Amino acid sequence: MTTGVLLGGHAFDVPSAPLVSLLWGSALSGAALILLEAGWTLHWTLEGWGMLVLAKLAIVAAIPFFWDQRLPMLLAAVALAAVGSHMAARYRHYSFYYGRVVKE
């Protein structure tokens, strides 16, 4: 929810001050979801869903450097999140390290 409100705030040119707490809320809820899904291991970073999470993180982390492009960048991050959360398990849990699905 925080990401949706954050995206809407940028879409409607809300001043950045009220959006800071939403940015932190979005980052913290994302970290919590990663811990719930992956635990403390880093193997997830080499799976399909992990690669999408890392790409999304890179996009969001680049926003301060490309501030004028923040809306399309946030839209891209949300699109990656939608694809990652709805893709089939054979892609989601495919390990680029092991060359096979590691979790069904």
Q: What percent of the chain has pLDDT over 90?
A: 38
- Give, to the nearest 10 degrees, the angle between helix 48-62 and helix 16-38: 160
What is the pLDDT averaged over residues 43-70?
Answer: 89
> If you ran DSSP here, which 8-state letter would residue 97 be given?
T
Q: What is the pLDDT of residue 104?
A: 55
Please check whether residue 72 is in contact with residue 60, taking contact to mean a CB–CB distance below 8 angstroms: no
Q: Band of the pLDDT at 9, cuts 50, 70, 90?
A: very high
**Which ranges of 12-103 would DSSP assign to H, the alpha helix?**
16-38, 48-62, 70-86, 89-92
Q: What is the pLDDT of residue 57?
A: 86
How many Å apart are CA 24 and CA 17, to the nearest integer?
Answer: 12
The encoded tokens of residue 79 equal 């699109």
Q: What is the pLDDT of residues 25-56, one digit of tens each?
A: 888 888 888 888 777 778 888 999 889 988 98
